[in-house]
Structure formats: structure tokens, C-alpha cells
């Protein structure tokens, strides 16, 4: 099955509203060149901080760049001070939401069960969740990578139907590669991507496994993207630092292999 690659830019807690408008304008200008690449069929999405989403949506109107949030609350509304819900994200112009990023797990105590509740809530309102998984350095060095990723998948995707999985993206982000400049090798990433696809095939269905997009994230830059994206099981990238620079992000988008 051919899967449309996705290049996603996670801005994390960077940029204010004027800066957001500026970066979106730069990206929008560059997007004119993307279809000119012939076979390129990638989707491009950016994930600014929640407060900047509406400004980003306005700046991107009419351009082929999707918008998503970095997190959401599972309830549609209520007494949850400081939180933002899925229906609110929809009205801000979002189509997607990142869930269970390792920084959310590490600094904000997010658990697989909580991520699962958010994934179900996102799907219920029509937002596509990007569910993040990945092992720490310690877990990799002690040979527990597959075990950890399996636990995160089983917990995070619990109760999702094969129909739900059509709208889900998985991001494999080894924690030791995030923001460190230490990128996983194509072999390391490809191995875990194949493990994830195999797990989805067994736990859900072979069809869901062949259709689901699995992104790699962790120090993806313009100069290593091409090699990673050439692996047939790496369906795109979740890009942090390099997505804050229009030129770098544009070069990563242009690294997607052309489809003949």
C-alpha cells in the first residue's frame, strides 16, 4: 500500500504570535514549489503553541500546510484550568494533534492510559492523533526498546478500531535522539518502525498495519532527512528544532522520495 508521507513540524514552546505569522508566511511562499517537484505527494503540517494556532490558521489559509496542536485535554469542556479541548482546537483550525510526546510524558506525568483517553477523544471530534512512542537511552542500552514501544502502543491504542486507525499516525521518537543532535541510524529507526508495523498487524489487522503512517522523530535535519525517508517503513518525520527555520524545514520536505 502506498502511504502519503507526512512531514510534521513540532514547534514546542517557541515563537510568539508575530513570529508565528512570519514563519507561516515564509513556509506558505515556499509551498508554491512543492507541487513542482513532480511526484512529491507529502502532506506538510505544523504544530505551533496553542496560543498561536488561530494566527497560524489565518496565515496558512489557501496554502497546502495542515495545522495541529501539541496536546489536548480529553474532555470537551469543563473546570480544567489551563487546558485546551479538542473541539476548541477544531475551531482554531486544527486537523491534527500530537499526543504523548516524550516531553509530556517526562515533564507532565502523562501515562499511556491518559494518552489513550486523549486519542479516543481526538478521534471522536475528528482530529487525527499523532501518537508518540519511544525508548530512553537506558531502555535501549538494556535491550528493552521493543518491550517499551509495545507497552506504549498497547496502552495508547487500547480500544481503537481498525476504522479509527485509518486516522491515526504513530511517531517513533527515541528519547535519546530528541533535541540532542544524536539521530538514530536508518537501521535503528527502520528496525523499530518494522516492529511497530508488525505489532499493529498482530494486535489490530494486517490492513491497518500496511496503511498506518509511522514517522521518525529525533534530531531530523535537512542533511539527514533524505537517508531516513528513503527507508520504505519510514513514512515521514516529526521535526522539532529544524522546523523553526523555514529553509531547513523546506529542505526536509524536499527530501521526501519522489513517487513515480
Q: Which residues bind ligand PGA (CB under 6 A)?
A: 10, 173, 178-179, 217-220, 238-242
Least distance from ligand PGA to the Cβ atom of residue 23, Å: 15
Least distance from ligand PGA to the Cβ atom of residue 228, Å: 12
Residue nearest to ligand PGA (CB): 240
d(CA 195, CA 132) in angstroms, rounded, equals 15
Q: Are residues 114 and 152 in contact, defined by beta-carbon separation less than 8 angstroms?
A: no
Candidates 43, 73, 74, 101; catalytic one: 101
Residue number, 50 or 75, with CB nearest to ligand PGA: 50
Residue number, 127 or 184, with CB nearest to ligand PGA: 184
Candidates 103, 110, 173, 204; catalytic one: 173
Residue number, 88 or 242, with CB nearest to ligand PGA: 242
Residue number, 74 or 103, with CB nearest to ligand PGA: 103
Residue number, 229 or 238, with CB nearest to ligand PGA: 238
Q: Is 193 an active-site residue?
A: no
Least distance from ligand PGA to the Cβ atom of residue 243, Å: 7
Least distance from ligand PGA to the Cβ atom of residue 169, Å: 13
Least distance from ligand PGA to the Cβ atom of residue 239, Å: 5
Per-residue 3-state assignment (H helix, E strand, C coil) for the chain:
CCCCCEEEEECCCCCCHHHHHHHHHHHHHHHCCCHHHCCCCCEEEEECCHHHHHHHHHHHCCCCCEEEECCCECCCCCCCCCCCEHHHHHHCCCCEEEECCHHHHHHHCCCHHHHHHHHHHHHHHCCEEEEEECCCHHHHHCCCHHHHHHHHHHHHCCCCCHHHHCCCEEEECCHHHCCCCCCCCHHHHHHHHHHHHHHHHHHCCHHHHHHCEEEEECCCCHHHHHHHHCCCCCCEEEECHHHHCHHHHHHHHCCCCCCC
Q: How far is CA 32 from the centre of its chain?
A: 23
Q: Which residues are catalytic?
A: 101, 173
Amino acid at each position: 500500500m502506498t502511504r502519503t508521507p507526512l512531514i510534521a513540524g513540532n514547534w514546542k514552546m517557541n515563537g510568539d504570535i508575530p513570529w508565528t505569522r512570519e514563519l507561516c508566511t515564509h513556509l506558505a511562499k515556499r509551498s508554491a514549489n512543492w507541487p513542482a517537484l513532480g511526484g512529491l505527494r507529502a502532506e506538510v503540517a505544523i504544530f505551533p503553541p496553542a496560543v498561536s494556532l488561530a494566527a497560524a490558521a489565518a496565515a496558512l489559509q489557501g496554502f497546502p500546510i495542515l495545522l495541529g496542536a501539541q496536546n489536548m485535554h480529553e474532555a470537551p469542556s469543563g473546570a480544567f484550568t489551563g487546558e485546551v479541548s479538542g473541539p476548541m482546537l477544531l475551531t482554531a483550525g486544527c486537523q491534527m494533534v500530537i499526543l504523548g510526546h516524550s516531553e509530556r510524558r517526562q515533564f507532565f506525568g502523562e501515562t499511556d492510559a491518559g494518552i489513550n483517553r486523549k486519542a479516543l477523544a481526538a478521534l471522536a471530534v475528528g482530529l487525527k492523533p499523532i501518537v508518540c512512542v519511544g525508548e530512553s537511552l537506558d531502555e535501549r542500552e538494556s535491550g528493552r526498546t521493543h518491550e517499551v514501544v509495545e507497552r506504549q502502543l498497547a496502552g495508547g491504542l487500547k480500544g481503537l478500531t481498525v476504522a479509527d486507525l485509518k486516522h491515526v499516525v504513530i511517531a517513533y521518537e527515541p528519547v535519546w535522539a530528541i533535541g540532542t543532535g544524536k539521530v538514530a541510524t536508518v537501521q535503528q529507526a527502520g528496525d523499530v518502525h518494522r516492529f511497530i508495523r508488525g505489532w499493529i498487524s498482530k494486535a489490530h489487522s494486517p490492513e491497518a498495519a500496511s496503511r498506518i503512517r509511522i514517522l521518525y522523530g529525533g534530531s531530523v535535519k535537512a542533511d539527514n532527512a533524505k537517508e531516513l525517508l528513503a527507508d520504505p517503513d519510514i513514512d515521514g518525520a516529526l521535526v522539532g528544532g529544524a522546523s523553526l527555520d523555514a529553509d531547513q524545514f523546506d529542505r526536509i520536505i524536499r527530501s521526501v522520495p519522489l513517487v513515480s
